[in-house]
Amino acid sequence: MKQGKKTSEDLYEKALEIIRNAGPQGILQRDLWKALKVSSREGSRIASTLEKRSLIIRERVLQGRFKTFKLIAVSNNLKTSLEAIGGCPCFSCTNLLRCGSGQQISPENCEDLTEWLLKS
């Protein structure tokens, strides 16, 4: 039982590496399970688990007359991603999702945002 679990984790890692190597255009799910030398059922389960773990995105595509999925790895540049925010208070604001032009809470009259903008 323990051995089976370990093999499965190894397969996930291998699958993720293949998907990441495919780059932003992604890889077809059927190409993945062929590369992993597993059945289509297991390939589908691996892809579905990786999607649940937010590691990949699955897009439904039609390949000829077969329905399959395109698997795309999620980008992995968190550090630069956070630096692009540049201290803008909106990012960690509790009202971000409620805020909007013409709303009660609006970026036009937000004091925190104004303060940040006036700070050179």
- Over the window 81 to 110, marking each residue x when it contacts another protein by CB under 8 A and - when it does not, the resulting string is xxxxxxxx-xxxxx-xx-xxx----xxx-x
- Shortest spacing between CB 120 and another protein, in angstroms: 7
> Rg (Cα) of the chain, in Å, rounded?
21
Two tokens, residue 76: 């992995």
Choose one: 4-12, 25-33, 38-46, 58-66; the region binding another protein (CB under 8 A). 4-12
CA 84 remoteness from chain centre:
18
DSSP tag of 76: -
CA distance 39 to 120: 59
One residue of 24, 41, 66, 111 binding another protein per CB under 8 A: 111
Q: In the Cβ-directed half-sphere of 79, how many Cα atoms lie within 13 Å?
A: 0
Rounded to the nearest whole angstrom, what is the least distance from the CB of residue 31 to another protein in the complex? 21
d(CA 28, CA 61): 9
Query: Shortest Cβ distance from residue 98 to another protein (Å)?
Result: 11
User: Whose Cβ is closer to another protein: residue 61's or residue 91's?
Assistant: 91
Taking Cα atoms as reference points, which of 95, 46, 33 lies closest to residue 111?
Answer: 95
Chain residues binding another protein by CB under 8 A are: 1-2, 5, 9, 12-13, 16, 53-55, 74-88, 90-94, 96-97, 99-101, 106-108, 110-111, 113-114, 117-118, 120
